[in-house]
Amino acid sequence: MIIPFRGTQEEKKAYQEMLKEELEEGIVIPIQQSQVKLWNHTFLIKKPNGTWRKILYASKLNKKIEKLHFKMHGLEEVQNLANQMDYATSLDLKSAFHHISVSTNSIPYVAFNFNNNNYAYKAMPYGTKHSPIFFAEAIESILRQIRIHSEIKILTYCDDILLIHQDKQILKTQTMEVMKTLEQFGWTISLDKCETEPKQIITFLGWIWDFKEMNIRMSEERKSKMIQALKDWCNTIYRSKNVKIRQLAALIGRLNFLRPQIKEASLYLIELDK
């Protein structure tokens, strides 16, 4: 059954602009209804910088996909990799997942509808279970070669890359080399989201890392938003309003972020997840 896009006027306008760009870049293609094997819902989420990201809600497809075991890098790896007084830079890859092609046989399974027109992803979308895994494997194969010829430490988490070294000038030079190599392999770097000047205090994975003091802390902006979200939930509970499971799951996801800073966070999340 066709699942049309539902959203606000602002979201529809943003969606239309994104879709036009995706069609021009060959990320999505028009598809005949008779070719579609599975319809998917799409929606937009607003990124921290105010722009939008289109998500393919592929719940039915994800249930049919074989489970793969893969460990993503995270906060623990940064803590293990960094030493006191290190310098760091960070890179952000633009439309990272879209650099990887969907197999021809799989295209009919990643179809969606917008304004009574049918489309399907030709490039890997955000939303399928294997997207982060395939992307991580693709980028890791390149970074593995870079590590062989480089003195810097490199850690990736999806489209975010952290580069670390004790020497500020060596890190600055090799950061430029890494960017050049990635671009040669066809990856696009979001320069406005990168920190190419080596620093000992840097933001990565939503946390502010201080390699002078060897600690991490939440940004004030994220802290304010988290407090407001919790206040909103308190009001919802006091008024005995019904909430969707997806809304509660989103809250749990946001609270998961607190685990590195608040040791007892896991205990409260267990109660929410019952």
Cα–Cα distance measured from residue 212 to residue 243, given in angstroms and rounded to the nearest whole number:
44
64 φ/ψ angles, rounded to the nearest 5 degrees: -90, -20
pLDDT digits (tens), the chain, 274 positions? 788 888 888 899 999 999 999 999 999 999 999 999 999 999 888 876 778 889 898 888 888 877 766 666 667 788 788 899 999 999 999 888 888 899 999 999 999 999 999 999 999 998 888 888 888 888 888 998 898 888 899 998 888 999 999 999 999 999 999 999 999 988 889 998 899 999 999 998 878 999 999 888 887 877 787 788 778 878 887 787 777 766 666 666 666 666 665 655 555 545 544 5
Amino acid letter at 144? R
Q: How many CB atoms lie within 10 A of CB 98?
A: 22
Cα–Cα distance measured from residue 155 to residue 129, given in angstroms and rounded to the nearest whole number:
22
Say how many CA atoms lie within 13 Å of 190 toward its Cβ.
13
pLDDT number for residue 272: 47
User: What are the structural domains, with CATH classification, of the chain?
Assistant: 9-65+102-121 (3.10.10.10), 75-97+130-218 (3.30.70.270), 220-272 (no CATH)
Contact assessment for residue 73 and residue 204, using Cβ atoms and an 8 Å cutoff: no
Q: Residue 108 gets which letter from DSSP?
A: G
Cα–Cα distance measured from residue 137 to residue 132, given in angstroms and rounded to the nearest whole number:
9
Plot region of 240 (φ>0 → left; ψ -120 to 50 → alpha; else → beta)? left
| Bridge partners for 46 per DSSP | 52
Task: Please name which of 3, 20, 43, 36 lies closest in space to residue 107, comparing C-alpha atoms.
Answer: 36
How are beta strands 117-121 and 28-30 bridged, if at all?
antiparallel
Task: Please name which of 115, 113, 131, 132 lies closest in space to residue 28, comparing C-alpha atoms.
Answer: 113
pLDDT number for residue 167: 96
pLDDT number for residue 259: 64
pLDDT number for residue 241: 77
pLDDT number for residue 31: 96
| pTM (predicted TM-score) | 0.74
